[in-house]
Amino acid sequence: MFHKEGYPSIALATLVLILCIWLGMSIESTFLGSLPIIAGVFIWIIILQFFRNPERNTPKSEKGILAPSDGTVVKIEPFTDHEYFGEPRTLISIFMSPLNVHVTRYPFNGKILYSQYHHGKYLVAWHPKSSTHNERTTVVIEHPSGKPILYRQIAGALARRIVNYAKVGDTVKAGEDAGFIKFGSRIDVIIPNDAKINVSLDQKVKGGETIIAELL
């Protein structure tokens, strides 16, 4: 299964593959003719794996906060978000490499309270200022407990397009498709300080499956 945001890129990659095969077959030398074919197949496979959208077994948890994306936990630290909360909270950052699934998924059932896109730079995703200087979207969802939780899609050095489906007032379900970030970046999740953290640094997580924290 592939994400709908990838259809144009997959179509273009398929066209490139066809052209590479045609070019390779038109070259008399077997060795030289194989080069464009190999390159075309490589590009096609990379595009297909990048836009894959596997089904996930989303666990039911009244207090849980799921990872919004696949990736590696790179930060767990105190953080003051001045865009929405304006008070100290806890930040969990998940870095996505180009090899990860890049679908963004809603981390729990709830109602969208805030959804905002911000133009910005394209610093590497692990740069300390990327969460406030890079192109990004900020989404706040009211947890069933009544507490608001924020997640932020952040573009990286390679990412050049963030897709966010969250609209204020929408009611969403845990694990559902919330958007997509093309070609690498990171997701920040900002939770209350008293939440129980279930992950550790360098841990691999799966979007829509791994419970990264639980509200008390």
Chain position carrying tokens 């999740």: 189
Q: Is 74 helix (H, G, I), strand (E, B) or coil?
A: strand
- Domain check: are 13 and 116 in the same one? no
Task: For Cα atoms 145, 150, 194, give the angle at the middle one, nearest 5 degrees.
Answer: 55
* Pairing mode, strands 171-172 and 148-155: unpaired
- Domain check: are 42 and 138 in the same one? no
Given this model, what pLDDT does residue 196 score? 96
- Domain check: are 180 and 137 in the same one? yes
- Domain check: are 143 and 200 in the same one? yes
Domain of 96, CATH number, reads 2.70.70
Which residue type sits at 98? P
Given this model, what pLDDT does residue 183 score? 67
- Domain check: are 86 and 10 in the same one? no
| Structure-block tokens of residue 183 | 């070609």
- Domain check: are 81 and 140 in the same one? yes
Rounded distance, CA 166 to CA 114, Å? 8
pLDDT tens over the chain, length 216 residues: 888 988 999 999 999 999 999 999 998 888 888 999 999 999 999 889 888 999 999 998 889 999 999 999 999 999 999 999 999 999 999 998 888 898 999 999 999 999 999 886 655 555 555 565 678 899 999 999 899 999 999 886 555 678 999 999 999 999 999 999 876 688 999 999 999 999 999 999 999 999 999 998
Domain annotation covers residue 58? no
- Domain check: are 76 and 44 in the same one? no
**Domain total for the chain?**
2
Residue 6 gets which letter from DSSP?
A: G
Domain annotation covers residue 92? yes
Rounded distance, CA 190 to CA 177, Å? 19
Which of these, 175, 173, 171, 213, lies nearest to 194 by C-alpha position? 213
Whether 53 and 1 have beta carbons less than 8 Å apart is answered as: yes
Q: Is 166 helix (H, G, I), strand (E, B) or coil?
A: coil
Domain annotation covers residue 103? yes
- Domain check: are 185 and 153 in the same one? yes
Q: What is the pLDDT of residues 48-90, one digit of tens each?
A: 988 899 999 999 888 999 999 999 999 999 999 999 999 999 9
Rounded distance, CA 181 to CA 204, Å? 18
Whether 145 and 63 have beta carbons less than 8 Å apart is answered as: yes
Q: Which residues are catalytic?
A: 185
Helices (H) and strands (E) in the chain, counts: 3, 14
Domain annotation covers residue 55? no
Domain annotation covers residue 123? yes
- Domain check: are 99 and 168 in the same one? yes
Residue 32 gets which letter from DSSP?
A: H
- Domain check: are 94 and 25 in the same one? no
Given this model, what pLDDT does residue 72 score? 96
What residues make up the domain containing 10?
4-50
| Structure-block tokens of residue 142 | 């009211």
Domain annotation covers residue 34? yes
- Domain check: are 71 and 170 in the same one? yes
Domain annotation covers residue 56? no
- Domain check: are 27 and 68 in the same one? no
